[in-house]
Chains A and B, each alone.
Chain A
Amino acid sequence: MSTVPQMPKSWRVESKPHKFCPGCGHGLVLKALGEAIDELGIQDKIVFGADIGCSLLAWDFFNVDTVQTHHGRTTPVVTGVKRANPDLICIAYMGDGGGYAIGSQHLVNAAARNERITAILVNNCNYAMTGGQMAPTTLPGMKTETTPYGRDVKEAGYPTQGPEMVAAITREGSYVARGTISNLKQLKSYIKKALENQMAGNGFSFIEALATCPTNWRTNAKDTWAFLEKEMTKYFNVGEIKNHAMKEGE
């Protein structure tokens, strides 16, 4: 990874500076993704689907075909593209609300069918674009606009363990991992493996990326990073969860 800030070739210069908030994790996830696309040389074959939420701001982010979908519906749209034209490398990009709440049935079913797509989910523990409401991955005790007194696990349950859930559903050929923007090198390697998994036609690949949202967390730079590295990791384990790059039937 270069120490001199370089924009990935697959990034679209005209849409920069991007519209994400200062300190947002999306910019870093998309950088790791951009570099992965560059290194794999697959820019022209990518179809990138962006969910509604802060993810929607990525609609003109890359020099790749991009479709902005509906909230939670990126997985099925991208599945539809891939099924119709398996030569394309299809990426479904979404947040924790789009992936684990409204889009959860689609995620579960894509995993069950072992769809040859790559889903990348950015987890910042809240519905950010709508102003910071509780999300499936909001931490216990965490204050949000709809849990003003802190998330009560008796009422709202525990944070969703997304990759673990997907890994429990998928069979051979899937790749499931959780990375974090505080280790971009590792996150990029996971994303690359996930894309390679799709290119080899093995099965469903899913990456959750732990990310920051200082705007809605209402934290300064130091506290933002502490929350990401110390608090979120109490509930979300970083690492590869499923890496069976086996073809079906083997």
Chain B
Amino acid sequence: MAEKPIQGEKRVFMTGNEVVAWAALAAKADIMYGYPITPQNEIMHYWTRMAPKYGKRFLQTEDELSAGFTTLGGVLAGRKAFTATAGPGNTLMQEPMSMAEMMRIPSVVVIQQRGGPSTATVIYSQQEVTMTTYGGNGEGFRIVYSTANHQELFDYTIKAFNTAWKYRFPTFVLGDGYQAKMRESLIIYDPEEKGVELVQTEPTLGREAVNGEKKPVHIRNTYNTEEELYEVVTRYMEEYMKYAPEIVEYREFDCEDADIVIVSHGVVSRAAKGAVQELRKEGLKVGYFRPVTLRPFPADQLKAVADNTMTLLLVESSLGQMAKLVKDAIFGSTVALATLFKPGVGITSEEIVAKVKGMF
């Protein structure tokens, strides 16, 4: 019987991709399906090296369409299956993930964002927000966690499995090339020893016979009439909205008396945090708001902040993909919007500080 990959907890110093591999092991993932694309390759490298030791499986597929569909297959067979991709691979992943949305298949996908559109750069961006939250030909029945550091990459990769299997929506961990390739410290741990219950899986296809009788399962994603589709999609939407409040996560500080609130997500929120702390030291009334779940978006919470301040400064490494989610969330608010958009380029706290000072 394979031993547990992590006993207790320990502080480590490793790259983000390695963190993801360990988190998947800690979450008791069974199988990874993957395809090479920078900057997430090392997730596969670590997984394939550790897999035999812990009785895990791996398949390198012929492309990301296949990696996504094989992941769906693995999940339907009742295993904790996951995949990872980036950029153009994420574009391809939209087809299988739209099937996951329609058929409520609890897939887990880790995205390490790189420049876009097209091949662009292998390095970094926050330009896959639109695609990851609302990609494919659907209505965004997905859950997306945007991590900002390695501790979160570990925590939320584990959580993604629980979230997916509990609510049965495809769940994404949205990182980026910087997080993937940088080294910083974190505590890795065995979640069960920490009191985190791991949601059990169950097969949809290939269930055992019960009392000698096997009841066949028929699942589909196609409907005959408009009315049938309407019923399904609106029902999913109701469920999604019902669960959203328990899934939503965000962080905020110093917003109560702020004239300007900086809104950012993922790795950029680290720079925003530093900027707010620096600006406050200089006596400027600036606040911080960070959606952790981009989907479902913390709309009510941000609306409350928006109604209580003069300006939201939207900071991201894209040309407004998070901004679109913000505008949708706060519709009706009269707050002013300012932006700091740097598509595909990292943002430092110095830049944010300079921008804010220029606004006062």
Contact = CB atoms under 8 A, between A and B. Distances in A.
A104 B88 CA distance: 17
A134 B61 CA distance: 10
B333 interface: no
Contacts of A71: 37, 88, 119
B69 to A, nearest CB: 14
Interface residues of A, number: 24
A102 interface: yes
Contacts of B41: 130-131, 133, 145
Majority secondary structure of chain A interface residues (helix, strand, loop or mixed): loop
Contacts of B59: 155
A70 interface: yes
Interface in A78-134: 97, 101-102, 104, 127, 129-131, 133-134
B327 interface: no
B48 interface: yes
A101 B66 CA distance: 10
A133 B44 contact: yes
B74 interface: no
A146 B62 contact: no
Majority secondary structure of chain B interface residues (helix, strand, loop or mixed): mixed
Contacts of A148: 45, 48-49
Given A130-B38, A133-B41, A145-B45, A72 B58 contact: no
B86 to A, nearest CB: 11
A215 interface: no
B119 A133 contact: no
A52 interface: yes
A129 B38 CA distance: 9
B52 A149 contact: yes
Interface string A128-151: 011101101000000001111100
A146 B38 contact: no
A133 B60 contact: yes
B37 to A, nearest CB: 7
B222 interface: no
A56 interface: yes
Contacts of B36: 97, 127, 130-131, 133, 146
A148 B34 CA distance: 15
Nearest to B118: A70
A156 interface: yes
